[in-house]
Amino acid sequence: SFMRGNPFLKPQYTDNLKLSPESLERLQWQALSNLLKHSFDNCAYYRTRWQQAGIDDIRTVDTLAQFRQLPVLTKDDIRLNYDAIKAKNFQNNIVKSTGGSTGQPLTIELNLDSNVRREAVMWRGYSWLGAGLGERTLYLWGASIGQASLPRRIKEQVYHWLYNRKMLNSFSMSPENMSQYVAQ
C-alpha cells in the first residue's frame, strides 16, 4: 500500500493514528506550544502583537483558555505584515498562493520539510479513498483565478499528467459548462 511504500511518511504519522483521544490531544497541545514558541522567537510580528496583547513571553500560555485569548491573525494582517511574519530562521522557502476566491490571492511560504510532510499526509488521505499516487483521478478544485502564463500552464499540465490526474477548476464552472464537467 501507499503507507508502507512511502519514504516521506515517518512512523510517527502512522503511529499517531492509533493514539487515544487524550494522548492525541496532549500531542496536539505540545505541537501547538512548540509552534507558538517558534513564532515568538523567530517572527517579529507575532512577538510584537502578542506583547501588545499583554503577553511578554508566549511560554506563559499553557492552557487552551489562554490560547483562545491570543489575537486572531487575518488575511489582511498577513498581506500588510508579510516580511515581519516570515520566520527569520527559514530561508529559501517554497512560495504558494491561494486561488483568490475572496478577490485577492494570499501568498504563504513553506519550508521544504514542511511541504514534504504536507504532501505526504495529503497523499495518505487520498490513498484511503483509493486515489493514491498514480491512480487515475479527477479533481474538482478551486484553481487560480485569471489566465496563467504559458510556462505555468505547461508546468501544471506536465505535473498533473505525471500524477495521472485531471483538474477541473471549480471557479470556472457555470450552468453553461456543468454538463461538460459531469461528462469528464
In tens, the pLDDT along 102-143 reads 667 788 888 888 888 888 888 888 888 888 888 899 988 876
- DSSP three-state, residue 25: helix
The reported pTM is: 0.71
Start-end of H helices in 53-149: 64-68, 75-80, 82-85, 112-128
Burial class of residue 50 in the structure, from the number of CB atoms within 10 Å of its CB (0-12 exposed, 13-18 middle, 19+ buried)? buried
In tens, the pLDDT along 137-162 reads 998 887 666 677 889 889 988 989 99
Is the pLDDT reported for residue 8 higher than 60?
no
Chain centre to alpha carbon of residue 145: 19
